[in-house]
């Protein structure tokens, strides 16, 4: 009987100049980027579902129907939503530190600078967290009656945060002769900071509120209106922030250098 497996290596030889097996370091890099993409699609997909579909759908349901639908739908949907956010940010942070920020640090140090990858990442995270703290403890409690005013104030906050991030990263990644902060470092620095704010909104505002809303709905009691309003505004903020976040992620690939080199 003719054995086709004998000719398998010969048939695969034609692909030797096309397919290149990754080495171990490349595998780690590919897997981190892949995890970031898959989790990000899950997270942002659920975010758009909640804002574009679910909000109006829930408004159309009466109380008895909500008592059935909400406990069955929302816990599972929010599980993918919140853990998708975690994986997206954690994988993105690792990739940013190892493969984007670190090469710029090395270039700055070789030019006589005094840059440090972990210090740069820590300050970057602190600036992002400080922006979220202002949103959560100042803007949201005081401007929740008018979504347009809250949106304008949040836009101003995000712009201020972006300016602070650019200033810090550019100054930290400067040597004796040149500035070494690349377009990738600066663009993803802004986009990633927006992602951190969105993650903190998920775990610090949306999920705690939704747990109480789901429990109240399952018991047949109306959820706290102020709590529902807070969760809605945080979710709507995330939906709007996702647009500049994705824009700055897109501009990091060199076809359009918006910042740095």
Please name every residue paired with 155 in a beta bridge, in sequence order, or none if there are none: none
Are 241 and 159 in contact, with CB atoms under 8 Å apart?
Answer: no
State pTM to two decimals: 0.91
Q: What is the C-alpha to C-alpha distance for residues 59 and 44, in angstroms, rounded to an integer?
A: 22
Element (H, E) at 79: helix 63-95
DSSP state of 7: G
Q: pLDDT per position in the chain (261 positions), as tens?
A: 445 445 545 555 556 667 677 777 889 999 999 999 999 999 999 999 999 999 999 999 999 999 999 999 999 999 999 999 999 999 999 999 999 999 999 999 999 999 999 999 999 999 999 999 999 999 999 999 999 999 999 999 999 999 999 999 999 999 999 999 999 999 999 999 999 999 999 999 999 999 999 999 999 999 999 999 999 999 999 999 999 999 999 888 766 666 656
Give the residue from 91, 86, 82, 79 showing the smallest Cα distance to 36: 91
Domain ranges of the chain: 21-253
């Amino acid at each position: 009987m003719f054995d086709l497996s004998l000719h398998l290596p010969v048939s695969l030889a034609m692909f030797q100049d096309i397919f290149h097996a990754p080495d171990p370091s490349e595998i780690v890099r590919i897997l981190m980027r892949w995890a970031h993409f898959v989790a990000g699609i899950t997270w942002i997909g659920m975010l758009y579902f909640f804002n574009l579909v679910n909000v109006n759908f829930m408004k159309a349901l009466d109380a008895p129907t909500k008592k059935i639908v909400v406990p069955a739908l929302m816990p599972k949907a929010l599980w993918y939503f919140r853990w998708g956010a975690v994986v997206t940010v954690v994988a993105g942070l690792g990739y940013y530190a190892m493969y984007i920020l670190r090469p710029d640090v090395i270039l700055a140090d070789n030019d006589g600078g005094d840059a440090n990858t972990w210090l740069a990442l820590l300050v970057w995270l602190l600036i992002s967290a400080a922006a979220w703290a202002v949103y959560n403890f100042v803007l949201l409690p005081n401007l929740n009656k008018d979504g347009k005013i809250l949106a304008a104030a949040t836009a101003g906050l995000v712009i201020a945060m972006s300016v602070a991030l650019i200033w810090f990263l550019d100054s930290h990644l400067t040597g004796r002769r040149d500035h070494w902060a690349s377009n990738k470092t600066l663009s993803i620095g802004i986009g990633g900071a927006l992602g951190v704010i969105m993650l903190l909104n998920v775990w610090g505002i949306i999920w705690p509120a939704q747990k109480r809303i789901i429990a109240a709905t399952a018991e047949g009691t109306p959820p706290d209106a102020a709590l529902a309003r807070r969760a809605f505004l945080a979710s709507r903020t995330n939906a709007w922030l996702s647009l500049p976040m994705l824009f700055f992620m897109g501009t990091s690939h060199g076809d359009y250098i918006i910042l740095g080199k």
